[in-house]
Chain A
Amino acid sequence: MTRYIFKRLLQGIPLLFVISIILFALMMNMGDPVATMGGRRVTRAADYQRLRRQLGLDKPIYTQYLYWLIGNDWTKVDLDGDGIAETSGIRHGVLRGDFGTSLVNRGMPVLSVIAERLPNTLLLMVASEVIIILGALLVGVYSALRQYSAMDSVITTLSFIGYSMPVFFIALLSMYIFAVLFKRWGLPYLPTVGMFDPQIGKTPGQVLLHMVLPVLSISIISFAEYSRYIRSTMLEVMSQDYIRTARSKGLPPPLIIYVHALKNASIPIVTVIGLDLPFLLGGAVVTERIFAWPGMGRLFLDYLSRSDTPVVMGILVLIAVAVVVFQIITDVVYAWLDPRIRYET
């Protein structure tokens, strides 16, 4: 297994190179970051030329990629526009852990920009994922065991409704009901936006309170999706011969359901969760925007709209690495769940 993991990691390296080249080329054609630096006005011509030179944007795309990858401290650059490259570069490049600085937040290291938002995203997304998985397991198993019952029909209907609704609709609706209207009706109410009430301060209780609506919005849709998966796989597994054998041997029903059946039914779910986990890092763009939650999703959207290539590349590379790593983790968990699965190196 160790050799398998090592081999997969090595395979990931050229993959990440190819991904970075494609993403960089796409980003460089997504717009001009200097064009909107003039605020409400178009950037003045003299400032435009100067900023492109100072920010290294006047270089050919392959040169910019090279500097992004390995830095420019091994060469000199022309900062003052006199045509003479006399100033040493200061960037070390991604391969040496330097993702550069933001074009929008001038001077701010990309990793700092990301690090400011990542904990907020993990807080929101991990909490949502835990609720989704636990809730989906409970509901999915129940539905499978009570197939075609009245409760199963209700759950199925609600699942389809939840799955069909766009997240912005759920988010805004829940905000208006539980925050605006409840307050107007004199009921206990939830906050609308942000992570805390400035009158009280950023306490754990405040953050938890402000998480309720965004977590609810994220959970409803994915919960519906996951519970249907689990119901489907459980139904398939429960009809297997070994389950019938376990029953006829007189094993306790909880043991049959939660050890024998659920473990095997979980294999496809592990795939889905494994594919979803790296995207937790990307946050939930719409939810974060509506609830003003300062996460990675909003960061990506805001900086993409400003064509801030270093920050957007930093986020995308982070997610790409996470996808590769979590794919490997998923395979390992597969092998643990199903002893029949063994990887050849």
Chain B
Amino acid sequence: MPRKTVLWTALASLIIISLLLGGCGAKTPQATSVATQPPATTEEATQTPGGRKVVTLIYPQEFDNLSPLYTSMWFSWTTWQMFLHWAWEFDENNEPFPVLVTEIPSIENGGISADGRIITMKLRDDIKWSDNVPITADDFIFTWEMAVSPKNAVASTYPYDLIESVVAPDPQTVVVTFTDPFAPWLATLWHGILPAHVLQPVYDAEGTIDNADWNKNPTVGCGPYVFAKWESGSYARFVRNENYWGTPAKIDEIFIRFVPDDASQVAALKAGDADLGTFIAYSDVPALQDAGLKIMIEPSGYSEWMFFLVNEEKGHPALLDVNVRKAIALAIDRDAINRDLFFGLTSVPASFWDAMPFYNNPPLENYPYDPAEAKRLLDAAGWVDSNGDGTRDKGGVELELTHATTIRSVRQDAQAVMQQQLAEVGIKLNILSVDDTLFFGSYADGGPAALGEYDIMEWSDGPMFPDPDIYYWLCSQIPSDENPTGENWFYLCDQELDRLIQLQSTQVDVNARQKTISQINQLFYDKVYFIGLWQDPDVYAVGPRLINAKFSGVTMFFNIGEWDLAK
């Protein structure tokens, strides 16, 4: 065969092989319409090819651990309604409902002692692990012991390190005694229980459960699904728990695929290769809706905030003046940021308890966009442009502030907008973007935010949702060489604020606590210690096949046992 023909044949073969591989095994789709209607709400089940119902979820980040004690990742939290349960969980309105307990403890039902220190829980008598071993108070005691054991490098000992004792007068009763009255117990306790019969032997043999196989392969659980497999970087599978003590799940398998790229997640959702997308970027919402997916937004308690460093020694002198802080709030068109960067899907939070109306009561109104008033306030405060360089000054000090946040692109976009708007009122904003692990580095590690190097810091935060507890602004939390782990990176010490924050964390009476939080709410507003930028809810893209899915801001997939596939 002539040489020329050989080369052409080889090239053509390569191309043909590629095309054949593309066609081989690929399905030719049914004629599908690109519908824009929301998915069907019928509860009729459907069978997929092969007879199994498999729902595919996309996670942009892979979880680092599946044990409730060893991770704080949102993505890990979502699995605890699949293969585990919390003692009580939270519905789509973020209201608690009992799961492993017969009722939520309260003062009325005797579940909370008068002094607020003792919580008594009554467990259901029909709950069991997937290997048929009953769930008893011993599992709760074991969970507490493991959380506080110095031999376990758990992600957080909070709030278990505040507990004096956990005892079981009988197998169905758990009595938790706190050292001091602890108001946030409902939101912070029992985020997943450990199976004592599986992990106690490990602890006894190795002296720790850090390396327990169960942390990565929790094959014994108590949820509507059981863990099946987790392949690093690729996927995790949860299959229906045939020994589930509750109503059996409708789906055969939950398949979680780890897809770190936003554009790839969107492509997979549009192609129907997944039924649920998580952490959807707002810029992708229109395209996904056009492709027939439903966007569901669930308050998570988080919002984006600009925090001011208010300290005579460390901070800019201008920020000591509440009128300057107020002027900054008035000079930034935050509604426009929400409209343009978030397509109007979020709004400006006026209160740190924006997602908790009970505590944002009376509800605060946002400072409006009023650059004229901002200029007036700055003039009255003595900050004027005396040298004609476009930036205000006072006593020889330029009104030049450093604003730092992480490298997330939407934050950088917002920084650019704010820089421009503040420049219009004579404030020069130097903007910085820093990698997460550097930005949030500790005082001891030279973390710039912790060291007080930034006048304005920005990140997403909220109270201990769904509990209103906060603690950052405590005077005792200001970092120093003597207190390098302090978390009050605003270096703010407001005695009245400090008193109120300490008070609310001890108030187990909800109404009394609500009054205290309201005072804190008003104080934050009046003194403008921080400014709300946008709400930061959880955003899900739900494919047309998936029905009955509801979401909670706390126990995200709380009704995953009811999820089903549309016909």
| Chain A positions within 8 Å of B243 at CB level | none
Contact B24 A205 (CB under 8 A): yes
**Contact (Cβ within 8 A) A79 B232:** no
Nearest B residue to A291 via CB reads B264
> Chain A, interface size: which category?
35 or more
Q: Which residues from B are CB-within-8-Å of A40?
A: 72, 74, 302, 460
* A193:B73 contact, CB within 8 angstroms: no
Bound CA–CA A85/B55 (angstroms): 50
B555 sits at the interface (CB 8 A):
no
B21's closest neighbor in chain A, by CB?
A: A212
Chain A residues with CB under 8 A of B50: 199-200
Give Cα distance in the complex from A199 to B270, angstroms. Answer: 18
Q: Which of A181-232 contact B (CB under 8 A)?
A: 183-184, 186-195, 197-200, 205-206, 208-209, 212, 216
Q: How far is the CB of A166 from chain B (nearest CB, A)?
A: 13
Q: Kindly state whether residue A30 has any CB partner on chain B within 8 Å.
A: yes
- One digit per residue, 1 when the CB lies within 8 angstroms of any chain A CB and 0 when it does not, for chain B 44-58 equals 000011101010100
Within 8 A of A (CB), among B106-144: none
Contact A51 B442 (CB under 8 A): no
Residue of B nearest to A192 (CB): B268
- Most central of A198, A294, A307 by chain B CB within 10 Å: A198
Answer whether residue A142 sits at the interface, using C-beta atoms and an 8 A cutoff: yes
Q: CB-CB contacts of B1-44 with A at 8 A, as 1s and 0s?
A: 00100010011001000100111111111011010000000000
Are A290 and B263 in contact, with the CB atoms below 8 A? Answer: yes
Q: Digitize B258-289: 1 where CB-to-A-CB distance is under 8 Å, 0 elsewhere.
A: 11110111011011110000000000000000
A47-B156, A184-B34, A198-B253 known; A192+B273 contact, CB < 8 A: yes
The minimal Cβ–Cβ distance linking B326 to chain A, given in whole angstroms, is 27
Given contacts A189-B29, A209-B21, A292-B259, contact A51 B235 (CB under 8 A): no
Find the A residue at minimum CB distance from B233: A294
Known: A193-B267, A199-B50. Contact between A37 and B72, CB under 8 A? yes
| B257 at the A interface (CB under 8 A) | yes
B218 to nearest A CB, angstroms? 13
Q: Which residues of A contact B212 (CB under 8 A)?
A: 107
Q: Evaluate contact between B436 and A36: CB separation under 8 angstroms.
A: yes
Contacts of A205 in B (CB 8 A): 24-25
A299 at the interface (CB under 8 A from B): yes
- Whether A212 pairs with B437 at a CB distance below 8 angstroms is no
**How far in angstroms is the closest Cβ of chain B from A288?**
8
Query: Does residue A260 face the partner (Cβ distance < 8 Å to B)?
Result: no
Known contacts A116-B231, A292-B264, A212 near B18 by CB under 8 Å: yes
Partner of A206, one of B25, B29, B62, B442: B25
CB-based contact A176/B267 at 8 Å: yes
B153 contacts A193, CB within 8 Å? no
Complex CA gap A141/B21 in Å reads: 26
B485 touches A175 (CB 8 A): no
Of A43, A188, A199, the residue contacting B28 (CB under 8 A) is A188
Tell me if A138 counts as interface (CB < 8 A to partner B): yes
Q: Which residue of A30, A43, A79, A183 contacts B29 across the interface (Cβ within 8 Å)?
A: A183
Q: Is B346 part of the contact surface with A, judged by Cβ < 8 Å?
A: no
Bitwise interface map of A from 103 to 140 toward B, beta carbon under 8 Å scored 1, else 0: 01111100001001100100000000001000100110
Considering only residues 473-491 of chain B, those with a C-beta below 8 Å from chain A are 477, 485-487
A39 within 8 A of B: yes
Chain A residues near B158 (CB, 8 Å)? 44, 46-47
**Do A35 and B440 contact each other (CB < 8 Å), given the known contacts A49-B485, A107-B212?**
yes
Instruction: From the candidates A101, A189, A216, name the one contacting B18 in the complex (CB within 8 A).
Output: A216
Partner pick for B54 among A184, A199, A299, CB 8 A cutoff: A199
Q: Does B216 contact A (CB under 8 A)?
A: yes
Give A216 to B14 CA distance when docked, in angstroms: 12
Instruction: Check B260 against A180 for contact (C-beta < 8 Å).
Output: no
- Whether B210 is near chain A, meaning CB under 8 Å from some CB there, is yes
Would A31 and B18 count as touching, CB distance under 8 A? no
Chain A residue with Cβ nearest B256: A198
In the complex, how many residue pairs between chain A and chain B have their CB atoms under 8 Å apart? 228
Complex: A190 Cα to B15 Cα, angstroms: 15
Alpha-carbon distance A41/B471, docked complex (angstroms) = 12
Within 8 A of B (CB), among A274-294: 289-292, 294
Residues of chain B lying within 8 A (CB to CB) of residue A299: 232-233
A326 to chain B, nearest CB (A): 25
Interface residues of B in 421-472 (CB under 8 A from A): 435-438, 440-442, 445, 447, 460-461
Least CB distance, B414 to chain A, in whole angstroms: 19
Q: Determine whether B361 belongs to the interface, using a CB cutoff of 8 Å to chain A.
A: no
Which residues of chain A are within 8 angstroms of B263 by Cβ–Cβ distance? 172, 290
A184 to B267 CA separation, bound complex (whole angstroms): 12
| Residues on B with beta carbons closer than 8 Å to the beta carbon of A198 | 54, 56, 235, 237, 253, 255, 257
Q: Are B22 and A178 in contact (CB under 8 A)?
A: yes
**Is A253 engaged at the interface, CB distance under 8 Å to the other chain?**
yes
A38 CB → nearest B CB, Å: 5
Determine if B231 and A35 form an interchain contact, defined as CB atoms under 8 angstroms apart. no
Cβ A307 vs Cβ B477 within 8 A: no
- Tell which of B70, B268, B438 touches A193, judged by Cβ atoms closer than 8 Å: B268
Q: Which residues of B contact A71 (CB under 8 A)?
A: none
A180 to B438, CA, bound (A): 38
Query: Quick check: B73 and A39 within 8 Å, CB to CB?
Result: yes
A32 at the interface (CB under 8 A from B): yes
Do the beta carbons of A253 and B10 come within 8 Å of each other?
no
Is B64 positioned at the interface, with any CB of A under 8 Å from its CB? yes
In the assembled complex, the CB of A286 is this many whole angstroms from the nearest CB of chain B, namely 9
Query: Any chain B CB within 8 A of the CB of A33?
Result: yes
Once the chains are docked, how many angstroms separate the CA of A39 from the CA of B48? 36
Using Cβ atoms and an 8 Å threshold, which residues of chain B touch A302? 62, 233, 260
Q: Once the chains bind, are B232 and A179 in contact (CB under 8 Å)?
A: no
Interface membership of A50, Cβ < 8 A = yes
B440 contact set on A, CB distance < 8 A? 32, 35-36, 42-43
Contacts of A292 in B (CB 8 A): 234, 257-261, 264
A254 in contact with B233 (CB, 8 Å): no
Could you tell me the distance between the alpha carbons of A188 and B234 in the complex, rounded to whole angstroms? 25
B444 vs chain A, min Cβ distance (A): 8
Interface residues of A in 298-314 (CB under 8 A from B): 298-299, 302, 305-307
Q: Do B258 and A294 touch (CB < 8 A)?
A: yes
Contact with A along B273-311 (1 / 0, CB 8 A): 100000000000000000000000000001000000000
Give, as a whole number of angstroms, the nearest-CB distance from B450 to chain A.
Answer: 9
A236 proximity list for chain B (CB < 8 A): none
Report the Cα distance A327→B436, complex, angstroms: 37
CA distance A48 to B71 in the complex (A): 13
Q: Counting chain B CB atoms within 10 Å of each CB, which of A172, A179, A254 scores highest?
A: A179
A35's contact among B29, B441, B486, by CB below 8 Å, is which?
B441
In the docked arrangement, what's the CA distance between A192 and B269, Å?
A: 9
Q: Which 5 A-B pairs have the closest CB atoms?
A: A31-B437, A294-B233, A39-B72, A45-B485, A80-B150
Residues on B lying within 8 angstroms of A by beta carbon are 3, 7, 10-11, 14, 18, 21-29, 31-32, 34, 48-50, 52, 54, 56, 62, 64-65, 70-74, 77, 150-151, 153, 155-158, 161, 210-212, 215-216, 231-235, 237, 253, 255, 257-261, 263-265, 267-268, 270-273, 302, 435-438, 440-442, 445, 447, 460-461, 477, 485-487
Known: A38-B156, A45-B487, A189-B26. 20 other contacts (CB 8 A): A32-B437, A36-B436, A38-B155, A39-B73, A39-B74, A40-B460, A45-B486, A47-B155, A172-B263, A179-B267, A188-B26, A188-B28, A189-B22, A189-B27, A195-B234, A198-B56, A198-B235, A199-B50, A298-B233, A305-B435
Q: List 20 A-B contacts (CB under 8 A).
A: A31-B436, A39-B71, A48-B442, A55-B153, A131-B14, A176-B267, A184-B32, A184-B34, A186-B31, A188-B26, A190-B22, A193-B264, A194-B273, A197-B273, A198-B253, A199-B49, A206-B25, A209-B26, A294-B258, A305-B435
By a beta-carbon cutoff of 8 Å, the part of chain A in contact with chain B is: 30-51, 54-55, 79-81, 101, 104-108, 113, 116-117, 120, 131, 135, 138-139, 141-142, 172, 175-176, 178-180, 183-184, 186-195, 197-200, 205-206, 208-209, 212, 216, 253-254, 289-292, 294-295, 298-299, 302, 305-307
